[in-house]
A and B are shown apart, each in its own frame.
Chain A
Amino acid sequence: MNFKLVVWRQPRESEPGRMVEYDVEEISPDMSFLEMLDVLNEDLTVTGGEPVAFDHDCREGICGMCSLVINGVPHGPERATTACQLHMRHFKDGETITIEPWRARPFPVIRDLVVDRRAFDRIVQAGGYISTNTGSAPDANAIPVPKDNAETAFQAAECIGCGACVAACPNASAMLFVAAKAQHFARLPQGQPERTRRTINLVEAMDREGFGACTNHYECMAACPKEIPTSFISDLNRDFVKAAAHHGRFGTLPPQGDIEE
């Protein structure tokens, strides 16, 4: 198969980028999308060009590192599929394919198709965990968890932190990511003691990072390679209203720092 690629090239964050056209030939339909880019990069390397930088690591859809907007869609056209698990057989021979990085202000471009997603890490640092020191845990079966709750928590915890939800959202909202993190713990008995402060701290950290608000476009759910449902966002909103009322924080948007109880 042959393709015309239109790829975002940008040398560094401080310099402007542009779309550049490349032809790739003799691509096997069994290649993954990233393997097709490997071919392009090998060609560029031996012909004196600069390979295209893109993030990738596990290439089996779990590490969350790959982050390509393919023909305008984060991770490309296949549902519930990361770019690394997308295969060329899903494209038409001779097709023109555009490849861009995640586009969102909190995810600045580092180079070409690579963006800086540390904003997600900082959100998790603000409260995306259960505070328990090593060694202090009771016997694991001392905390029974209803099977349904465990499964819902698992569904939320499946998030791979790739950021496709942000890239897909017209507001660059991180609500699906934050909701999944919050609801993973909100469904578990272990997560209850910190539920209120976790909710506030996560949402305020998200606002600090400059992500937009959710206005119900549902693009995040459509782009999510793990099909995390937006119902978690509704749950987070309920938790936030309760938590904000509890802390008298309604309408107080200027960041006040983390809540310590």
Chain B
Amino acid sequence: MLDAKIPGGPLEAKWERHRFDMKLVNPANRRKFRVIVVGSGLAGASASASLAEMGYEVDCFCFQDSPRRAHSIAAQGGINAAKNYQNDGDSVRRLFYDTIKGGDFRAREANVHRLAEVSNNIIDQCAAQGVPFAREYGGQLDNRSFGGAQVSRTFYARGQTGQQLLIGAYGALSRQIHAGKVRMHTRTEMLDVVLIGGQARGIVTRHLVSGRIGRWAADAVVLATGGYGNIFYLSTNAVGCNVTASYRAFKKGAFFANPCYTQIHPTCIPASGEHQSKLTLMSESLRNDGRIWVPNRKDDERAAGDVPEDDRDYYLERKYPSFGNLSPRDISSRAAKEVCDEGRGVGALGRGVYLDFADAIHRLGESTIRARYGNLFSMYEKITGENPYQVPMRIYPASHYTMGGLWVDYNLMSTIPGLHVIGEANFSDHGANRLGASALMQGLGDGYFVLPATLSHYLASTDLPPVSTDHAAFVDAERQVREGVDKLLAINGHRSVESFHRQLGQIMWEHCGMSRREGGLKQAIQEIGALRAEFWSEARVTGTGDEFNVALEKAGRVADFLEFAEVLCFDALAREESCGAHFREEYQTSEGEAKRNDADFTHVTAWEHRGVGTKPLEHREPLVFEDVELATRSYK
């Protein structure tokens, strides 16, 4: 049985009490400890900066050319906090409850409560760093309601909140680099974790410019390497986002928790052709004024404007009269897929639905709509070449965020002692679905406030004999990494790596995307195995290992996706219920609503690697709800 090490006592007092109970490292001794942080997004940059400020020696790694490019930068909407600046009834308790409920009661109470507690410190920290949040005329911070919340608790910087928060964390990180406390390694990719005496004591990397394989020793390793949404090939993630660091830790013994919890965002710009390399998110706020519809008839070729009112199906308004176009993300996404599966989708590929502003423009005037959504409309026009003031937008769901991740205990440590996991890379706080504006909160909460406390405790309370990068475990890990690189370069087939990734994405989207069923998942597992075999005989990876080689980088990441995809499907297969973003067609009400099974599935599923192509071993962490009552969502 997995022990989450949740402290005792009442929910509200757990973190405070735990902070007191944890051991500290004497300030004079901190410089004797070295910590490796992989990733420089909100979680990685904030953790690196905070640990260095405390006095630890930090090595931070990122695969991009600068730590400022990490994909946190693309988050649009905002960041939640329980400040209650708007005096509208918000509190730590309410943010905690909304997050637990939003995760469909599949997250740990204690973790989520802690997240709500530190949310306020995050906003203070960011404001002090000069993050230019939106302000009222009186100079106070502005808030908005986001993602259906009943209170206005979201802090934002226009549609670029992630960028501004990341620049804040990057600034703090840069200051510590300048102070000599952080050694920054850009264009460097982690390819293995090194375990000595059962503890994570270092990593092996490949420098993407020179191809040099590096060995790095430390007292603890922190992964802040983001999510695996790119397993679907098309997603709102940056093209470089990958599962490699997490997956290689999994192969070294770290358990992977709830991989089937993948969030699909309902309002993205649809793919325009087979060449599509990524999908762009459009803010969900558009659904406040846009009406979603498709033609009544299949294969209706008429232009949107030529389809008379009687021939249109405003399906969300029809099926969910009280929430209508504002129905939750998972429900809206599935409904869009359904109508497109029926052959009523719009656009060149038939994979899109209309988001129509004609009524809103008629009612409020174009200038009001322009004031509300002008930047989004011009972004849409830039990408599609269509003017959404005149023709309806087309939208379609896309992979956006992954709630699953490496299993961690309350201290954010994985099942490998010393290997800590923070931000999107861990599984801990969002349960089966993530609320809007909560990802930034979690990344910064972990990095600025939680990890610095729990990692100190680990360093203070653990026997850490000195290790050298000459140790046999490093030599062995390096050899394996080199062999992996050589193996990819030796395939010498005639199919591009990109085409394998695209095909994997199609398999996953079809069988393990918005809705899943047993037969489809089993078929997917077979298809993935076959595709992987083909990859290792037919892929073509050009160039050599000791140069800047983008083909090689990509091939390594796709190879890992081709293995990890099975783990995701096994998890989706094992979770015989529908909850949050995980919808199993077999488990729904007569009205097509998700049907949770609390009696059998109120637990975290954590998978242990047992070899490629072999079903991983299932472990369970029961979720105990001491404080909240499990309720059923209803959006009718």
Give bound CA distance, A118 to B382, whole Å.
30
Closest chain B residue to A39, Cβ basis? B275
Could you mark each residue 271-302 of chain B with 1 if its beta carbon is under 8 Å from any beta carbon of chain A, else 0? Answer: 01101111011000000000000000000000
Interface contact B449-A134, CB-CB below 8 Å: yes
Could you mark each residue 101-132 of chain A with 1 if its beta carbon is under 8 Å from any beta carbon of chain B, else 0? Answer: 00000000011001011101100111011111
Contacts of B477 in A (CB 8 A): none
Which of B65, B124, B383 contacts A138, CB < 8 Å?
A: B124
Give bound CA distance, A53 to B50, whole Å.
35
Interface contact B542-A184, CB-CB below 8 Å: no
B141 at the binding interface (Cβ < 8 Å) = yes
A243 at the binding interface (Cβ < 8 Å) = no
Q: A130-B129, A157-B167 are in contact. Are A121 and B548 (CB under 8 A)?
A: no
Interface contact A140-B127, CB-CB below 8 Å: yes
Interface contact B140-A188, CB-CB below 8 Å: no
Interface residues of A in 145-177 (CB under 8 A from B): 145-147, 150-151, 153-154, 157-158, 160-161
Contacts of B551 in A (CB 8 A): 45, 51
A199 at the binding interface (Cβ < 8 Å) = no
B186 at the binding interface (Cβ < 8 Å) = yes
Interface contact B132-A153, CB-CB below 8 Å: yes
Closest chain A residue to B540, Cβ basis? A45
A191 at the binding interface (Cβ < 8 Å) = yes
Contacts of A190 in B (CB 8 A): 127-130
Interface contact B273-A30, CB-CB below 8 Å: yes
Interface contact B275-A38, CB-CB below 8 Å: yes
Could you mark each residue 35-60 of chain B with 1 if its beta carbon is under 8 Å from any beta carbon of chain A, else 0? Answer: 00000000000100110010000000
A11 at the binding interface (Cβ < 8 Å) = yes
B469 at the binding interface (Cβ < 8 Å) = no
Contacts of B137 in A (CB 8 A): 147
B17 at the binding interface (Cβ < 8 Å) = no
Interface residues of A in 23-65 (CB under 8 A from B): 28-32, 34-35, 38-39, 41-42, 44-46, 49-51, 53, 55-60, 62-65
Interface contact B548-A63, CB-CB below 8 Å: no
Interface segment, A81-89, A209-217, A231-239?
A81-89
Q: A46-B494, A58-B73 are in contact. Are A121 and B67 (CB under 8 A)?
A: yes
B243 at the binding interface (Cβ < 8 Å) = no
Interface contact B171-A128, CB-CB below 8 Å: yes
Contacts of B175 in A (CB 8 A): 125, 129, 131
Interface contact A153-B130, CB-CB below 8 Å: yes
Counting chain B CB atoms within 10 Å of each CB, the highest count among A56, A57, A138 belongs to: A57
A245 at the binding interface (Cβ < 8 Å) = no
Interface contact A60-B74, CB-CB below 8 Å: yes
Interface contact B494-A28, CB-CB below 8 Å: no
Contacts of A150 in B (CB 8 A): 132-135
Interface contact A126-B277, CB-CB below 8 Å: no
B537 at the binding interface (Cβ < 8 Å) = no
Counting chain B CB atoms within 10 Å of each CB, the highest count among A62, A114, A151 belongs to: A62
Closest chain A residue to B548, Cβ basis? A111
Contacts of A92 in B (CB 8 A): none
Counting chain A CB atoms within 10 Å of each CB, the highest count among B126, B128, B174, B496 belongs to: B128
A141 at the binding interface (Cβ < 8 Å) = yes
A80 to chain B, nearest CB (A): 9
B233 to chain A, nearest CB (A): 12
Give bound CA distance, A57 to B494, whole Å.
26
Q: A30-B273, A121-B66, A134-B53 are in contact. Are A58 and B170 (CB under 8 A)?
A: no
Q: A130-B129, A154-B158 are in contact. Are A29 and B385 (CB under 8 A)?
A: yes
Contacts of B170 in A (CB 8 A): 124
Contacts of B128 in A (CB 8 A): 130, 132, 136-138, 140, 143, 190
A12 at the binding interface (Cβ < 8 Å) = yes
Contacts of B496 in A (CB 8 A): 41-42, 45-46
Give bound CA distance, A59 to B241, whole Å.
12
Interface contact B132-A184, CB-CB below 8 Å: yes
B391 at the binding interface (Cβ < 8 Å) = no
Give bound CA distance, A177 to B140, whole Å.
28
A261 at the binding interface (Cβ < 8 Å) = no
B125 at the binding interface (Cβ < 8 Å) = yes
B83 at the binding interface (Cβ < 8 Å) = yes
Contacts of B550 in A (CB 8 A): 51, 53
Could you mark each residue 116-145 of chain B with 1 if its beta carbon is under 8 Å from any beta carbon of chain A, else 0? Answer: 000001011111111011111111110000
A135 at the binding interface (Cβ < 8 Å) = yes
Interface contact A147-B136, CB-CB below 8 Å: yes
B185 to chain A, nearest CB (A): 11
Interface contact A161-B272, CB-CB below 8 Å: no
Q: A31-B275, A39-B275, A87-B385 are in contact. Are A120 and B66 (CB under 8 A)?
A: yes
Interface contact A30-B129, CB-CB below 8 Å: no
Interface contact A118-B124, CB-CB below 8 Å: no
Contacts of B236 in A (CB 8 A): 60
Which of B50, B83, B139, B495 contacts A144, CB < 8 Å?
A: B139
Contacts of A129 in B (CB 8 A): 129-130, 171-172, 174-175
Interface contact A11-B547, CB-CB below 8 Å: yes
B572 at the binding interface (Cβ < 8 Å) = no
Interface contact B130-A140, CB-CB below 8 Å: no
Contacts of B174 in A (CB 8 A): 121, 124-125, 128-129
Give bound CA distance, A44 to B494, whole Å.
11
Counting chain A CB atoms within 10 Å of each CB, the highest count among B184, B236, B385, B542 belongs to: B542
Give bound CA distance, A118 to B66, whole Å.
7
B238 at the binding interface (Cβ < 8 Å) = yes
Could you mark each residue 478-512 of chain B with 1 if its beta carbon is under 8 Å from any beta carbon of chain A, else 0? Answer: 00000000000000001111110000000000000
Q: A28-B272, A147-B139 are in contact. Are A185 and B239 (CB under 8 A)?
A: no
Closest chain B residue to A26, Cβ basis? B275
Contacts of A89 in B (CB 8 A): 385
Interface contact B68-A161, CB-CB below 8 Å: yes
Counting chain B CB atoms within 10 Å of each CB, the highest count among A120, A141, A143 belongs to: A141
Give bound CA distance, A81 to B385, whole Å.
14
A133 at the binding interface (Cβ < 8 Å) = yes
Which of A62, A110, A130, A153 contacts B209, CB < 8 Å?
A: A110
Interface contact A62-B129, CB-CB below 8 Å: no
Contacts of A38 in B (CB 8 A): 275, 277, 498
B177 at the binding interface (Cβ < 8 Å) = yes
Give bound CA distance, A121 to B66, whole Å.
7
Interface contact A63-B73, CB-CB below 8 Å: yes
A43 to chain B, nearest CB (A): 9
Give bound CA distance, A95 to B418, whole Å.
57
Contacts of B273 in A (CB 8 A): 28, 30-31
Q: A30-B384, A150-B135 are in contact. Are A125 and B178 (CB under 8 A)?
A: yes
Closest chain B residue to A13, Cβ basis? B209
Interface contact B275-A63, CB-CB below 8 Å: no
B428 at the binding interface (Cβ < 8 Å) = no
B337 at the binding interface (Cβ < 8 Å) = no
A178 to chain B, nearest CB (A): 14
Interface residues of B in 157-178 (CB under 8 A from A): 157-158, 160, 163-164, 167, 170-172, 174-175, 177-178
Give bound CA distance, A159 to B499, whole Å.
34
Interface contact A59-B178, CB-CB below 8 Å: no
A sample of 14 inter-chain contacts (CB < 8 A) reads: A30-B385, A38-B277, A42-B496, A42-B499, A45-B498, A50-B543, A57-B69, A58-B238, A58-B239, A63-B64, A85-B382, A125-B174, A144-B138, A150-B132
A134-B125, A150-B134 given; name 17 further pairs at CB < 8 Å.
A12-B547, A31-B272, A46-B496, A51-B551, A57-B238, A59-B239, A65-B65, A87-B385, A111-B547, A132-B125, A134-B172, A136-B128, A137-B121, A140-B126, A140-B133, A144-B139, A157-B167
**Chain B residues near A (Cβ < 8 Å):** 46, 49-50, 53, 64-69, 71, 73-74, 83, 85, 121, 123-130, 132-141, 157-158, 160, 163-164, 167, 170-172, 174-175, 177-178, 184, 186, 209, 236, 238-240, 272-273, 275-278, 280-281, 382-385, 448-449, 452, 494-499, 540, 542-543, 547-548, 550-551
Counting from the closest, the 5 A-B pairs by CB-CB distance are A144-B139, A129-B171, A137-B128, A140-B127, A30-B272
